Amino acid sequence: MKYKIKHSTTYQYSDFVTLCQNQARLTPKTSRGQICHNSRIEIVPHANYLQQFTDYFNNNVTVFEISTQYKTLNVTVTSEVELLVTANNDIDNLDMSWTEVRDLLAAPNTKELLRTSEFILPSTLTPIETGIKEYALVSFKPEETLISACKGLMARIFHDFKYDPGFSTISTPLSVVFAQKRGVCQDFAHFALACLRSIGVAGRYVSGYIETLPPEGEEKLEGADATHAWFSVFLPGCGWVDFDPTNNVLPSEQHITLAVGRDFSDVSPLKGVVFGGGNSLLDVAVDMVRLE
Amino acid sequence: MSYINDTISNDYSPWSTRSLYHNNNAMSELPEWLSLYINKPHIHDELVNHSGLEPIHWDALFNRLESLSSEDVSGRAIEISQLMQNGNVKHESSKECNFDPLPFMFSKSDWSLIVEGVKQRTQLLNQIQADIYGEQKLLIDGHINARKLYENSNYLREGFSLPNDELKLFFTAVDLYRTPSGEFKVLTDHCQCPLGLGLLLKSRIIARRVMAEEFADCSVLQIKEFLSSFQDAINEYSRYMDDPRVVILTQGIEDPNYNEHAFLSTYFGYTLVQSADLTVREGEVCLKSLQGLGKINVILRWLPDRNIDSLEQIDYSLHGIPGLLQAVREGNVKVLNPFGSGALSSPAIKCQLNKLSELLLQEPLLLSEPNYYDVEQAKTLDWKSLELLSHQDPQFKIDAAAQSEKVKDLINEQPDNYYFQDKAELSTAPFWIKGKLVAKPVIFRCYALTTEHGVEVLPSALCFSQQFSNDAGMAGWIKDTWIHTEKDTDISNAAFPTRLRMDVSLLEGVISSRTAEHLFWFGRYLERSESTVRILRIFIDKYTEAAIYSDPVRTSVVSRFVEAIRSQRIVYPYAENSAIVNESVDVSPKEMALQLLADKQCAGSIINTLEYLCNASKQIQELLSHDSRRMMDDINGQIQQLKNVTGFISTRNMQSLLDRIIGSIMAFNGSITDCMPNSNGWFLLEIGRRMERSIQINALSAALLTQEYEEAEELGVLEAVLSCQISLVTHKRRYRMHQSIGTGLELLLLDAEYPRSLLFQLEQIDDLCRHLPTKRRPGVISAHEKAILLSKTSCSITEKDYLQQSDEGQRQNLIEFCHNIRINLDTFCDVLLLQYFSHTQTAHKLNWTNIEQAQS
């Protein structure tokens, strides 16, 4: 499956911005499950400095600076990404229990396991609050395989938590999300990660896109697709396996990975520092079109 | 002199290396203060127990000191403490740092052991640093616990995206102590921002001055070579640049170690900057200077690396420089010390160092770590000699035996978070406290420099008696540390390696716009203090005189002054009219004088102005000479006296206090007259000073000379005004025949040749402005120049008689003249601020894009 994605971010300022410096993680990764054929970033006004580098988590980072005065900033990234048919269909066959995986990660002896063991630690946005471990252990019974336990956890989050776009912001603490059982994809991913990490299983945060289909008989609206977030679990011998607790599915043909990290703060699509500007308004539009 | 060594022959005893520094044959040769110390019981003392079989290093020192009485030593101690205090910013939170008159002596053998040990350790740490930010073999093979390292907040993932070269250690320090058995062990490594080098330098400079003879006699190893290597190593990084810029990055005057940063900046001649002075443009780090943005090549950072880049790093800090890491990644700037080295001091690595040395260097550590135990191991041990530490919190440390209940609770709760270590039993050394020697436990901080030629160890150490903490700054007791060498080896004229060094003196000094602005304000406060003191002196003089001879003229002069001071027309903020004053409250002249002297509520009071002055001086500390800083210390002392002033102070005491203040200010002015290179922005101080004086003269004229009275009364006021501007004598001489308000105004405002006139100040300002970098097209005059030109012109074309004219008791022409001048002066200051000092703009963090909701 091949997609064309257009992700447009616009900031409107009440006052002139004299200088801004930014880091964008808007170029999709090429990984086991997908190939990013090309990706183009367009910045208006023109950036007078633009460089790319690969960060610790192997994400593509674009660094740019604009020193012309402006009131409106638009960053549009257009990418073509091909999703590969992965072995995900077979993962049920992998009957490694989660405790075995946990023990492997406790004493990492290969580069891969070492890098993975990073993700068993709680992070700033996924603190392990009281009750989280107990919540996790309901799914993670001693003899359970890693995959079935994760599926169970994903399903429980899907059923127990209410999807509520107005409820949370980026600064809503996880404990509130857990107590109220409400939030958006980002909160569910963070919560799932806290569950996994509380019992020593490695999980990472994935930011990306999800294709949306219009209700039957209606035309698809432009800009209606969305950035999305889910979590991913490490299964030795297989690699990272994605789980989408917001939709209770194993991502396969509609999820495109942008960047991965310990939590949202590692993958923030666009962050920056501005001089001047006053108040700002943000608008994000995503279009995801099937090419073949 | 001979000594009997009280060596215990039993080789199995850990105390076998003990000797007793003990003058047996000729006890009388040792001064009493010293023999008292030696004969006291000691647990294990450097001088008494660890001086070795042949304590020639201590002998060398005491041969010199034996003729000193305890009064002599105390005298030295006092001299030293005065020298130490000079020019320091005082921090209320930090304790005093006492510098001991007795240096610490290291024997040649002890020292060579330490040097080898520090070199070995530095090499080891460098290898570990390269591995944990590279291949990570040590983690994969389990030599370092990956989880513990990952959990440490000083392990910075950003390091992986930087070039390998950026991670090499540069300047490090290690704290050592001596165990009862005589060997040296390690307390802490300082791989990030090793503190104390400035303090060590300063103490060495003082020691050389106070103990010059002893210094020569003991043939102490010099530290100069090391410091040259330090600078060479820095220059090495900017070798291919025409005009390399090296800066020292400090948090600012609120940093408890600011004095040290400023000292190093002066010592090495590098510009001292704060984060806000730097900006990253197109991948290059630039200094916001008066001349515009100037590229920086090397940053010696004295800031933690966890949040040094507020764009890239997650830990946010106001002191971060957005984009700095990108500049490093691009190779456009060298940051020393490198990123991520803080992780080397984490327990995850520290506890394994003994093993890692065997593994990586195939040899045991020469300077070993104390024994560490995990919670399991410790359960079977006697806790008496143990303390509990935390993997997470580097400050956490409790005595295992004394707080055993708490320890048990903690390790039951989270066994993985804690570990035990042997308590360090520090050796003691003699410190001169209150007229006698007192034994205090000591730690030695040794410094190492890593260059491509290997590791170099500073041939001295900071010997101190109390753990430093980064929060409280340098406090406690310190000693200069002398490494004794034998004379003959030292004098060998070993050929010094010729060093290729750039002639740095050809390069112009750069100062940040922030410093430039502080210089401007410093000049203004300097002049403001001086003139306010003068006004107050004249005022006190006038009202005491009026109290004795109360004729109408004198009384009227005093009441006009009271009015002008109270309405703040002739003192800061130089109000343009007196409408704000509450007439109903009657203030006596003395109350008025007191307010102007020491009332914090009064904006322009002398105490407030002097405090502004002192604050500004801290900001430009590194540009002031040693002597100038001492003058500022005096002024600081006078502020303290002003704080204690009460309503009961006699007029006489007020007068003498004012005399002392003006004395200090004049001395300070004298100390800076001949050492103000304009390239360093010093002309801004002069502009500030001239500007303040202009405003002052203008305000005096506007407030006191615009109303017409009887001639005698008018001349009385004029005399007082002229006195305030130290122009009374000149006026009398020049206008012998006839004196009037008109002649006074001519002298004060219109005379271009008279150094205290308004026009003269304006001419000077105009002249000084040529040093400002131009920001306009040729042929166009910039706004600040226009403002000065307008004022100059109106001074030049105005006649004194025109100003003197009055209408119904008001000199309308003078009022208008002063008002216009004031507007132009204010414009000048505003433009200067906007065009040259506008560094104050602060950065906002862009809201992170929120992940929008997905459709379920």
Is B314 in contact with A124 (Cβ distance < 8 A)? yes
CA distance A91 to A113: 19
Is B157 in contact with A212 (Cβ distance < 8 A)? no
Residue A72's pLDDT band, with cuts at 50, 70 and 90, is: very high
pLDDT at position B455: 94
Measured CA to CA in angstroms, residue A135 lies from A128, A140, A181 at distances of: 11, 9, 12
CA distance B203 to B197: 10
Q: What is the mean pLDDT of residues A245-251?
A: 92
Q: Strands B246-250 and B298-301: what pairing?
A: parallel
Is B851 in contact with A67 (Cβ distance < 8 A)? no
Q: What token pair was written down for B548?
A: 């004795």
Residue A61's pLDDT band, with cuts at 50, 70 and 90, is: very high
**CA of B830, closest CA in chain A: separation in Å?**
20
Residue span(s) of chain A under CATH 2.60.40.2250 come to 2-83+268-290
CA angle B433, B436, B440 (to 5 degrees): 55
Which CB contacts under 8 angstroms, 24+ apart, belong to B736-742? B739/B715, B740/B711, B740/B714, B740/B715, B740/B804, B741/B705, B741/B708, B741/B714, B741/B804, B741/B811, B742/B800, B742/B801, B742/B803, B742/B804
Q: What token pair was written down for B388?
A: 């509990």
Residue in chain A nearest B150 by alpha carbon: A118
Nearest to A24 by CA among B229, B427, B312, B416: B312
User: What residue type is A218 in one-letter code?
Assistant: E
Is A274 in contact with B310 (Cβ distance < 8 A)? no
With an 8 Å Cβ cutoff, is A39 touching chain B? no
The owner of tokens 């997905």 is B854
Q: Strands B246-250 and B184-190: what pairing?
A: unpaired
CA distance B84 to B88: 8
**pLDDT (tens digit per residue) in B477-495:** 888 899 987 754 444 444 4
With an 8 Å Cβ cutoff, is A88 touching chain B? no
Residue in chain B nearest A212 by alpha carbon: B855
Who contacts B468 (Cβ-Cβ below 8 Å, separation ≥6)? B195, B196, B474, B475, B476
**CA of B619, closest CA in chain A: separation in Å?**
25
CA distance B760 to B2: 75
pLDDT at position B487: 58
Nearest to B654 by CA among B598, B575, B692: B598
**pLDDT (tens digit per residue) in A161-202:** 999 888 888 788 999 999 999 999 999 999 999 999 999 999
Expressed in angstroms, the distance from the first to the final Cα of chain B is 93
CATH topology of domain A2-83+268-290: Immunoglobulin-like (2.60.40)
Q: What is the mean pLDDT of residues A4-9?
A: 94
With an 8 Å Cβ cutoff, is A170 touching chain B? yes
CA distance B471 to B255: 8
Nearest to B760 by CA among B773, B772, B747: B747
Element (DSSP H or E) covering residue B311: none
Residue in chain B nearest A113 by alpha carbon: B140
Is B844 in contact with A273 (Cβ distance < 8 A)? yes
**pLDDT (tens digit per residue) in A107-124:** 899 999 999 999 999 999
Report the SS3 class of residue B362.
coil
User: What residue type is B358 in one-letter code?
Assistant: E
Chain B residues closer than 8 Å to A228 by CB: 851, 854
Question: Which one of 3.40.1160.10, 3.40.1280.10, 3.40.190.10, 3.10.620.30 gives the CATH number of domain A87-264?
Answer: 3.10.620.30
Of B161, B842, B847, the CB nearest to A282: B847
Assess contact for B444 and B175: CB atoms under 8 A.
yes
For residues B324-345, b (16+ Cβ closer than 10 Å) or e, as one string?
bbbbbbeebbbbbbbbbbbbbb
Element (DSSP H or E) covering residue B113: helix B108-132
Which A-chain residues 41-80 have CB contacts (< 8 A) with chain B?
48-49, 51, 53-56, 63, 65, 67
CA angle B437, B441, B443 (to 5 degrees): 120
Query: What is the CA A187 to chain-centroid distance, rounded?
Result: 11
pLDDT at position A146: 93
With an 8 Å Cβ cutoff, is A153 touching chain B? no
Report ipTM (2 d.p.): 0.92
Q: What token pair was written down for B643?
A: 């704080």
**pLDDT (tens digit per residue) in B608-631:** 999 999 999 988 888 888 888 888
CA distance A146 to A91: 10
User: What residue type is A289 in one-letter code?
Assistant: V
Is B310 in contact with A121 (Cβ distance < 8 A)? no
Give me the sheet containing B372-374, strands edge to edge.
B372-374, B418-422, B386-390, B397-399
Measured CA to CA in angstroms, residue B765 lies from A235, B511, B688, B759 at distances of: 75, 20, 9, 10
Residue in chain A nearest B138 by alpha carbon: A109
pLDDT at position A136: 96
With an 8 Å Cβ cutoff, is A261 touching chain B? no
CA distance B471 to B117: 29
pLDDT at position B846: 57
Report the SS3 class of residue A92.
helix
The owner of tokens 């260097």 is B361
Report the SS3 class of residue B419.
strand
Assess contact for A49 and A64: CB atoms under 8 A.
yes
pLDDT at position B627: 83
Q: What is the mean pLDDT of residues A40-63?
A: 94
Of A23, A49, A226, the CB nearest to B283: A49
CA distance B102 to B478: 10
pLDDT along chain B (856 residues), means of 10: 35 39 52 87 88 81 83 86 66 64 90 95 94 93 92 91 85 94 92 89 86 83 90 80 81 86 87 90 89 87 90 86 93 88 92 94 93 89 90 86 89 89 91 88 94 92 71 66 70 44 48 88 96 95 91 91 91 81 74 93 94 92 84 91 91 93 92 71 91 96 92 93 94 92 94 95 93 78 90 94 91 95 94 76 53 32
Element (DSSP H or E) covering residue B488: helix B487-491
pLDDT at position B576: 87
Mean pLDDT (chain A, rounded):
90
Residue span(s) of chain A under CATH 3.10.620.30 come to 87-264
Q: At what angle do helices B783-797 and B812-836 cross, to 10 degrees?
A: 160
Using CB atoms within 10 A of its CB, is residue B371 exposed (0-12), middle (13-18) or buried (19+)?
middle
With an 8 Å Cβ cutoff, is A169 touching chain B? yes
Of A107, A247, A273, the CB nearest to B845: A273
Suggest the residue from A11, A55, A114 to mutate for an interface test with chain B (most B CBs closer than 10 A). A114
Query: What is the CA A91 to chain-centroid distance, rounded?
Result: 21
Extents of the domains making up chain B: 1-222+425-494, 372-423, 678-837
CA distance B711 to B691: 32
CA dihedral angle for residue A239, residue A244, residue A248, residue A249, rounded to 10 degrees: -50
For residues A231-248, b (16+ Cβ closer than 10 Å) or e, as one string?
bbbbbbebbbbbbbbbbe
Which A-chain residues 103-142 have CB contacts (< 8 A) with chain B?
106-111, 114, 117-118, 120-121, 124
CA distance B466 to B61: 24
